[in-house]
Copies of this chain bind each other. A is one copy, B any other.
Amino acid sequence: MVKFSKKLEYALISLRHISNAGAEVTRVRDISEKYNIPHDLLAKILQKLKKENILDSSQGINGGYTLNRKLNEIPLSELVNIIENSTSIVECMHDEDNNCMITDSCTIKDPLSRIQSEFENILKTKMISDFV
């Protein structure tokens, strides 16, 4: 029912590492080798975090990543949305593509919608620093 995806875990591990490195740049390879995370997969995750301004990056032979925001100011909800595109607990609440065939006769939409709100509030309250 609830499962942190590997991508999300890799992101958390990386953010912790990069945060600890301070001003020093961290290469994808550093993290990849230290924690045994597939290089190419990790690279794409960090690229996404860069694109969303959570990380800074510099290219070139001495390039790498640094942290652009403080971990205690990034809510988990934001990270989950970046990595997994959605925080909805059932498909019918992810407006874009609701394919549920039983929407019309479904009797639990409303209560689940309440739960959804509660859940989103929790995700907004928890900061990345709580997870590393």
Contacts and interface: CB of A to CB of B under 8 A. Distances in A.
Nearest to A122: B122
B4 A1 contact: yes
Interface residues of A, number: 36
A102 to B, nearest CB: 5
Given A1-B2, A3-B90, A115-B131, 4 more contacts: A2-B119, A9-B108, A35-B102, A112-B131
8 contacts: A1-B2, A1-B3, A4-B112, A13-B106, A17-B107, A112-B131, A115-B130, A115-B131
Interface of A: 1-5, 8-9, 12-13, 16-17, 34-37, 80, 84, 87-90, 101-102, 105-108, 111-112, 115, 119, 122, 126, 130-132
